[in-house]
Amino acid sequence: MPADFNGTWNLVSNDNFEGYMVALGIDFATRKIAKMLKPQKVIKQEGDSFYIHTTSTFRDYTLQFKIGEEFEEDNKGLDNRKCKSLVTWENDKLVCVQTGEKKNRGWTHWLEGDDLHLELRCENQVCRQVFRRA
Ligand code: YOG
């Protein structure tokens, strides 16, 4: 049985989001707004199919994928760079590799107790986010 990420999750901590956004080339004004946000994630997981909706008062982002199937990701409203993304299980961690212009881009989700963790990577920057069940 893989980990169960189903649910609604609220951001409670966000370490080095600034460094991650700089690595993605997000402009100063957008970063100032983005770092104030407390995004919520709604995750729907059914077998190998995932739907992850990240919402905020500023912008929303929706991602749908199947484990082990590479897909084109447009990052619309984020850095708007297209990449090829592949999500796989590594034990109970959900690992996404985002291949494109930016080196070492990707993210990892895992559960710790009742918290949802997300590590966001781009180039030499790592952002660590923690979400709690809403
Ligand atoms: O999550 O890809 O759960 O997609 C990363 C923001 C901020 C917009 C958020 C909007 C990167 C301005 C998505 C924040 C910074 C700043 C709420 C992270 C880019 C632009 C949408 C992500 C995965 C894993 C699913």
The complex's ipTM works out to 0.98
Q: Is residue 39 part of a domain?
A: yes
- CA-nearest residue for atom 6, ligand 1, is 78
**Euclidean distance between CA atoms 15 and 118, whole angstroms:** 10
Judge if the beta carbon of residue 95 lies within 6 A of ligand 1.
Answer: no
DSSP output for 44-82: EEETTEEEEEEE-SS--EEEEEETT--EEE--TTTT---
Instruction: Answer whether residue 2 is part of any domain.
Output: no
Which runs of consecutive H residues, i.e. helices, occur in the chain?
Answer: 17-23, 28-34
The residue range of the domain holding 50 is 7-133
Tell me whether residue 1 is in a domain.
no
Q: Is 56 in the pocket of ligand 1 (CB under 6 A)?
A: yes
How far is 48 from 59, CA to CA, in rounded Å?
A: 27
Q: The domain spanning residue 64 has which CATH number?
A: 2.40.128.20
Q: How many domains is the chain partitioned into structurally?
A: 1
Q: Which of 22, 54, 120 to mutate to test the pocket of ligand 1 (most atoms within 8 A of CB)?
A: 54
Please give the Cα distance from 37 to 61 (Å, whole number): 14
Ligand 1 atom nearest the C-alpha of 37 is 14
How confident is the prediction along the chain (134 residues), in pLDDT tens digits per residue? 689 999 999 999 999 999 999 999 999 999 999 999 999 999 999 999 999 999 999 999 999 999 999 999 999 999 999 999 999 999 999 999 999 999 999 999 999 998 999 999 999 999 999 999 99
Write the pLDDT tens digit of every residue in 24-47.
999 999 999 999 999 999 999 999
Its pTM surpasses 0.95: yes
